Amino acid sequence: MNKYLSLSPEVEQALKEGKPVVALESTIISHGMPYPQNVETALKVEQTIRDNGAVPATIAIIGGKLKAGCTPEEIEYLGKKGQAITKASRRDMPVLIARGQDGATTVTTTMIIAAMAGIKIFATGGIGGVHRGAETTMDISADLEELAQTPVMVICAGAKSILDLGLTLEYLETKGVPVIGYGTEELPAFYTRHSGFKVDYRLDTPEELAAAFQAKIDMGLKGGMLVTNPIPEQYSMPADVINKAIDQAIEESKRQGIHGKETTPFLLAKVKELTGGDSLASNIQLVLNNARLAAKTAAALAK
């Protein structure tokens, strides 16, 4: 076991006994939503995973320890400190650990820690990707590189619609990452079910997802698998409303000179403001929806 890794007793026991476990990220707690909705949502997501037959493992870096399985007190701590906690990607891990500091894990770092712990399924909101204008800025999320090399299935509501979705799919194709649509042939775009872009394959049951991922593992193919699960119809936002808000938010971020890892939290907060909070409600529902599917897929994989 990695000397920096700390499993909660519940997660450790579940992994020992071959029970289904689902990893959850902590950036969504510290940087994705305001307090106290962030803590309420995190605990509700954990409960949703339990209700669907799996053990939740919220992942974070606390006091220089890689935590797989956080206590409710630790989740409260992450939620209250919020953006004062470093948003930790792969490049940040060595320094945060050496200094004994805290880090909220992104998709990238959650995948790394999940893989270290032996957790194969991870539920999140949306992945990062190729940012609009990346042909000049080279602003491409580390999430895509991680999907190319780390053997974890990531279940999300597609790529965040603040991104260039076409280029994100091209990048994933180059890296050999299978992009699966759950019950859909179209890439969902986070707040909305439709993007106009096609996924590689459509699969319709958790058992099919588990079988495809098991085949990947059995063949020794490196890298993960991306499952895109559309937001439930009743919470999906009209594409024109969300796209207008995103365009405004991007203009504002350019005016303020925001770039790098500050971009996504800024854009999401701005979109929430411009949509009168509707985007936050949608965000919570899509995460719960992904948690349900992840728990069922983990249960199918454990069989």
Q: Which of 67, 120, 160, 261 is catalytic?
A: 160
How much is the pLDDT for 165?
A: 92
How much is the pLDDT for 65?
A: 97
How much is the pLDDT for 133?
A: 81
CA neighbours closer than 13 Å in the CB half-sphere of residue 32: 29
The pTM of the whole model exceeds 0.75: yes
* Spatial CB neighbours of 84, under 8 Å, sequence gap ≥ 6: none
Q: Are 66 and 23 in contact (CB under 8 A)?
A: no
Res. 281 pLDDT band, cuts 50 70 90: confident
Whole-number average pLDDT of the chain: 93
CA distance 292 to 261: 29
Judged by DSSP in three states, 79 sits in helix
pLDDT tens column, 105-156: 999 999 999 999 999 999 999 999 998 788 888 889 999 999 999 999 999 9
Q: Which of 12, 25, 46, 146 is catalytic?
A: 25
pLDDT tens column, 114-127: 999 999 999 999 99
Asked if pLDDT for residue 104 goes beyond 90, the answer is: yes
CA distance 36 to 22: 23
Asked if pLDDT for residue 60 goes beyond 60, the answer is: yes
Task: Report which secondary-structure segment, H or E, holds 24.
Answer: strand 21-24
160 assigned to active site:
yes
Domain annotation for the chain: domains and CATH numbers: 5-302 (3.40.1790.10)
CA distance 288 to 297: 14
> If you average pLDDT over residues 270-299, what whole number do you get?
88
173 assigned to active site:
no
